[in-house]
C-alpha cells in the first residue's frame, strides 16, 4: 500500500493553526531560518510546505519558559 505524496506535509496555514500563531509569524520563522520549509512554487510568490519532522524539530527546540519565582528576595 502506498502513501499519498502529500502525507506528512503541512501548508503554512496548517502550521499557523498547529502553533497557534498568525501566518505572518510562520512566514517570519521560515525567512529567518528558524523553521525549515520547502518552496513548491515556480512563481515569484512562494508556496511553502513544511514537513512534519521539521515542525517537530522546531517545536521541540523552543525555549522553555522559566517558572516565576514566588519570592525572588528569598535568595538574597
Four-CA torsion 14, 43, 57, 4, nearest 10 degrees: 60
Cβ of 23: how many Cβ atoms within 10 Å? 14
> What pLDDT is attached to residue 61?
85
The whole-model pTM stands at 0.70
Nearest CA to 40 out of 55, 30, 29 is that of: 30
Please name the residues in contact with 39: beta carbons below 8 A apart, sequence gap of 6 or more. Answer: 46, 47, 48, 49
Q: For 3-58, what is each residue's pLDDT tens digit?
A: 556 678 999 999 999 999 999 999 999 999 999 999 999 988 999 999 999 999 99
Amino acid at each position: 500500500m502506498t502513501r499519498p505524496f502529500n502525507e506528512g506535509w503541512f501548508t503554512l496555514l496548517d502550521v499557523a493553526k498547529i502553533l497557534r500563531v498568525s501566518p505572518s509569524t510562520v512566514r517570519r520563522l521560515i525567512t529567518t531560518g528558524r523553521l525549515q520549509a520547502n518552496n513548491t512554487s515556480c512563481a515569484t510568490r512562494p508556496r511553502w510546505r513544511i514537513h512534519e519532522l521539521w515542525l517537530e524539530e522546531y517545536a521541540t527546540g523552543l525555549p522553555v519558559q522559566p517558572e516565576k519565582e514566588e519570592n525572588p528576595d528569598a535568595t538574597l
